[in-house]
Amino acid sequence: MKVLESSRTPEAIGPYVLGRELNGVCYFSGQIALDRQTNQMKQDSLEEEVKQVFYNIECMLADNGLGFANVIKTTVFLVDMADFQAVNSIYSSYFQAPFPARSCVAVKGLPKGARVEIEVIAGRS
């Protein structure tokens, strides 16, 4: 198994790696709105937070030779399901048909006070 890395995404805040690849399938750790440059959360608005999450995902994918078209499965973690529509609206701007499979779950809390965390699984064509 190969370890996947990125110099543009936040460093792990625990005992895990950014991602692992096995047989062309890339399993990435969830991303929150942590800005690697400042090591601070971007949380002025839900929209800003979600866009930072997707920026982190985009960097993570690109630095490993992948893009959003390679994503086959996502899991969205929300602290408040009332945010579902707003997150879904932004989410839909990053993916085109055929869309990845997706799960969305409500959680009691996320690291660093995040309101949303998204993890992806991507495949190499």
Distance, CA of 120 to CA of 85 (rounded, Å)? 19
Q: What's the pLDDT band for 120 if we cut at 50, 70, 90? A: very high
pLDDT for 33-74, tens place per residue?
A: 999 999 999 999 999 999 999 999 999 999 999 999 999 999
Six token digits for residue 116: 């949303």
| Displacement of CA 107 from its chain's centroid (Å) | 16
Distance, CA of 74 to CA of 99 (rounded, Å)? 10
Distance, CA of 54 to CA of 33 (rounded, Å)? 8
Distance, CA of 91 to CA of 109 (rounded, Å)? 20
pLDDT for 6-27, tens place per residue?
A: 999 998 888 999 999 999 999 9
Q: What's the pLDDT band for 124 if we cut at 50, 70, 90? A: very high
| pTM across the whole model | 0.96
The predicted model gives 91-97 an average pLDDT of 96
pLDDT score of 77: 98
Domains identified in the chain and CATH numbers: 2-123 (3.30.1330.40)
